[in-house]
Amino acid sequence: MAIKVYVPCDSTALSLGANKTAEAIVAEAKKRGLEIELVRNGSRGLFWLEPMVEVATNEGRVAYAPVFPKDVPSLFEANFLTGGAHALNLGLTEELAWLKKQQRLTFARVGITNPISLDDYLAHDGYKGLKNALQMTGAEVVKTVTDSGLRGRGGAAFPTGIKWNTVLGCQADQKYIVCNADEGDSGTYSDRMVMEDDPYVLIEGMTIAGIAVGATQGYIYLRSEYPHALKALNEAISRAEKAGYLGANICGSQHTFNLEVRRAAGAYVCGEETSLLESLEGKRGLVRFKPPLPAIEGLFGKPTVVNNVISLATVPIILDKGAQYYADYGMGRSRGTLPIQLAGNLKQTGLVELAFGSTLRELLYDFGGGSASGRPIRAVQVGGPLGAYLPESQFDTPLDYEEFTKIWAVLGHGGIVAFDDTVDMAKMARYAFEFCAIESCGKCTPCRIGSTRGVEVIDKITSGKDHAKNITLVRDLSDTMLNGSLCALGGMTPYPVLSALNHFGEDFGLPANIKAG
Amino acid sequence: MTAVLSTEEITRINAHIDRYQHVQGSLLPLLHAIQDDIGYVPESAYFPISKALALSVAEVHGVVTFYHHFRRHPAGKHILQVCRAESCQAMGSEKLEAHIKSTLGIDYHQTTSDRAITLEPVYCLGNCACSPAVMMDDEVYGRMSAEKISELIKEARSA
């Protein structure tokens, strides 16, 4: 029997040359007359070790990483097809400390299966949640999601079940499920991984949502920057349709659910749910006033569930194992797990799914291994471009929505970007304003004008012009944006700006901060 | 630069319009289809699009110009997108940007004189675990260095 060799097809693995590694392995096997079965799996999320090659042995899958074409002949020499010793041999994948320390619920299958194989998905507990949901009433499904404590993983952390319940309670001839897959935050890639590496879990989650609230049409609003995710989703949707998991009479039931991927067009603001809905309707992505809530008047004026990829992809395991199973993980009001994405200047970057409650320090040093440059980590931005910058004195904060709120920071989508001590925080504050100016939809004045004025004020501060006056002015401007903007883009740009100013004042020409504690 | 559309391109644009005319909320998918096919969204397409979707020309223009992805003029043979977001900045993307601009002799939103490469900024490619990142056409490249990007540009120019 041909030996299975796994080479990831995740786009980060591809960005490091996984295709060339795969080609080299196939060519070398052919040259040696060895029969192998090449499987293009998703990534295990140890991105600093990609391309990671795995071989199926009697003891389990053995990992070799990172493998580049030049390493391939020596791997064959070392009999890697039977798990042979080699400098790149990391042992059994399942035993790798990085993976063993995690609690992978949403990411249970990611990296293990061939993403577009429906058989693989079914063999690894796929569609068990849907099977259960089909035996329940809509209200029971919604209650299960509510009881699990799942909160919106896009950043706002609104309880998913409560949102669903509002849509369930609306009378309408048409309802929609919209997946917000416009993951535009720097330092985040968990949505992309789910869509590329386990697309069926998102499809299943959306189908369950549709059945729960009585929606028959779903849309995935996907970033245009994710071509590989687009391919994987479209292929998975088409296979799910053929197998009766989408379309009319799902799994022989009376339920109908159709799903379509719609490509975004590079506007960051369309990650805001009302702007996203405008875009889906074919308009400029201008933010809407709320109320009405999208749950009541959403897409095309109909009741609409708008959820992030991770929220929806977490629904299948909740319906499979029960609300309590999920709620047993976590701390305080942050129940379950959070897929954390380590990025920026870290030695060991990648996807870490953990129950809420771990600290930044554990993530940065135990998982991340410290900075990639070897210099001290000076600042960490959590939660994307609208998240606060945290100094070392805050690294012991547990990852929990409320704990982060207490220190005027946000967990957001769980992206962590580390900077070493070469970072200029005044420059990062300027960039935050600049980004807001580029991406503002222009509807509200604080965001449209404030962002541009913000860049100018920071420039005055760094050039020393009317220094004290402009420090006061930037605080005043931030206050206006914080309280007067229509959505989070203008409303949260002050987070990176003020946190940089408050914690790293020396970069703005202020006396060095006295470290608390 | 303004380009004159060939009769064949006009036929193709009209076929896309016919396909999307009755799809709900179809303006973005239609614009994507046109750009994927022709390389950009020509201004001369606004009028037939507006007629088919019962919009004003101004509304079509408004949508095309709102989204960074849509281009109103032909691009070079290859599109190089350079990530400017925080994670890439933490790994030295500013130096990389400067190197790319001086190698190509152009700034963002411009095309090299040999029409080989159009340079665009991008704000996150979701490859933040291997910053700095760039995207050449539909392929992402991680942990970019000056040497690697020079090689990539050379390949693109000779391809």
In tens, the pLDDT along A208-222 reads 999 999 999 999 999
Considering the domain architecture, whether residues B96 and B126 belong to the same structural domain is answered as yes
Number of domains in chain A: 4
* Cα nearest neighbour of B27 on chain A: A282
Q: By the 8 A CB rule, do A277 and A178 touch? A: yes
Helices (H), B4-159: 7-20, 27-38, 46-53, 57-66, 86-90, 93-104, 146-158
Asked whether residue B140 is domain-assigned, the answer is yes
Considering the domain architecture, whether residues A440 and A460 belong to the same structural domain is answered as yes
* Cα nearest neighbour of A377 on chain B: B90
Asked whether residue B101 is domain-assigned, the answer is yes
Distance between CA B102 and CA B105 in Å, rounded?
Answer: 5
Asked whether residue B15 is domain-assigned, the answer is yes
Asked whether residue A514 is domain-assigned, the answer is no
pLDDT at A479: 98
Q: Residues with Cβ < 8 Å from B102, sequence gap 6 or more?
A: none
Q: Which class for A197: exposed (0-12), middle (13-18), buried (19 or more C-beta within 10 A)?
A: buried
Asked whether residue A109 is domain-assigned, the answer is no
pLDDT, mean of residues A422-443? 98
Range of the domain at B55: 7-66
Considering the domain architecture, whether residues B86 and B150 belong to the same structural domain is answered as yes
Which residues share a beta bridge with A92? A62
Considering the domain architecture, whether residues A160 and A307 belong to the same structural domain is answered as yes
Q: Given A227, A262, A344, which is nearest B138 (Cβ)?
A: A227
Q: Which residues numbered 90-119 in B keep a CB inside 8 Å of some CB on A?
A: 90-91
Check B86 against A344: CB less than 8 A apart: yes
Which residues share a beta bridge with B95? none
Band (A516; pLDDT cuts 50, 70, 90):
very low
Q: Is the pTM of this model over 0.95?
A: yes
Considering the domain architecture, whether residues B19 and B57 belong to the same structural domain is answered as yes
pLDDT at A512: 75
Asked whether residue A514 carries a pLDDT value surpassing 60, the answer given is no
Chain A contact probe: residue of B86, B89, B138 with most A CBs at under 10 A: B86
Give A148→chain B minimum CA distance, Å: 29
Asked whether residue B3 carries a pLDDT value surpassing 90, the answer given is no
Considering the domain architecture, whether residues A224 and A280 belong to the same structural domain is answered as yes
Check B130 against A47: CB less than 8 A apart: yes
Check A428 against B86: CB less than 8 A apart: yes
Asked whether residue A513 carries a pLDDT value surpassing 90, the answer given is no
pLDDT at A155: 87
Asked whether residue A408 carries a pLDDT value surpassing 90, the answer given is yes
Give A16→chain B minimum CA distance, Å: 6
Q: Using omega within 30 degrees of 0 as the cis cutoff, is the peptide bond preceding A398 cis?
A: no
Q: How many CB pairs under 8 A join A and B?
A: 152
Say yes or no: B66 contacts chain A, CB-CB below 8 A.
yes
* Separation in Å, CA B55 to CA B21, B25, B46: 12, 12, 10
Q: Residues with Cβ < 8 Å from B47, sequence gap 6 or more?
A: B57
Q: What is the pLDDT of residues A355-400, one digit of tens each?
A: 999 999 999 999 999 999 999 999 999 999 999 999 999 999 999 9
Q: Given A192, A268, A419, which is nearest B126 (Cβ)?
A: A192
Considering the domain architecture, whether residues B82 and B150 belong to the same structural domain is answered as yes
Chain B contact probe: residue of A15, A182, A280 with most B CBs at under 10 A: A15
Considering the domain architecture, whether residues A269 and A345 belong to the same structural domain is answered as no
Question: What distance, in Å, lies between the first and last C-alpha atoms of chain A?
Answer: 62
Neighbours of A125 (CB within 10 A): 15
Asked whether residue A135 carries a pLDDT value surpassing 60, the answer given is yes
Distance between CA A8 and CA B81 in Å, rounded?
Answer: 24
Considering the domain architecture, whether residues B133 and B106 belong to the same structural domain is answered as yes
Which residues share a beta bridge with A390? A380
Considering the domain architecture, whether residues A386 and A465 belong to the same structural domain is answered as no
Q: By the 8 A CB rule, do A439 and B123 touch? A: yes
Considering the domain architecture, whether residues A172 and A280 belong to the same structural domain is answered as yes
Considering the domain architecture, whether residues B93 and B150 belong to the same structural domain is answered as yes
Check B126 against A223: CB less than 8 A apart: yes
Considering the domain architecture, whether residues A295 and A146 belong to the same structural domain is answered as yes
Q: Which residues numbered 131-150 in B keep a CB inside 8 Å of some CB on A?
A: 131, 133, 135, 138-143
Q: What is the pLDDT of residues B73-127, one digit of tens each?
A: 999 999 999 999 999 999 999 999 999 999 999 999 999 999 999 999 999 999 9
Q: Given A11, A224, A267, which is nearest B66 (Cβ)?
A: A267
The token pair that represents A464 in the structure block: 């020393």
Check A266 against B63: CB less than 8 A apart: no
Say yes or no: B41 contacts chain A, CB-CB below 8 A.
no
Considering the domain architecture, whether residues A71 and A138 belong to the same structural domain is answered as no
Q: By the 8 A CB rule, do A268 and A489 touch? A: yes
Asked whether residue B72 is domain-assigned, the answer is no
Asked whether residue A129 is domain-assigned, the answer is yes
Asked whether residue B118 is domain-assigned, the answer is yes
Check A225 against B86: CB less than 8 A apart: no
Band (B2; pLDDT cuts 50, 70, 90):
low
Asked whether residue A112 is domain-assigned, the answer is no
- CATH code for the domain of A67: 3.40.30.10
Say yes or no: B62 contacts chain A, CB-CB below 8 A.
yes
Considering the domain architecture, whether residues A21 and A139 belong to the same structural domain is answered as no
Range of the domain at A503: 425-508
Q: What is the pLDDT of residues A108-119, one digit of tens each?
A: 999 999 999 999
Asked whether residue B71 is domain-assigned, the answer is no
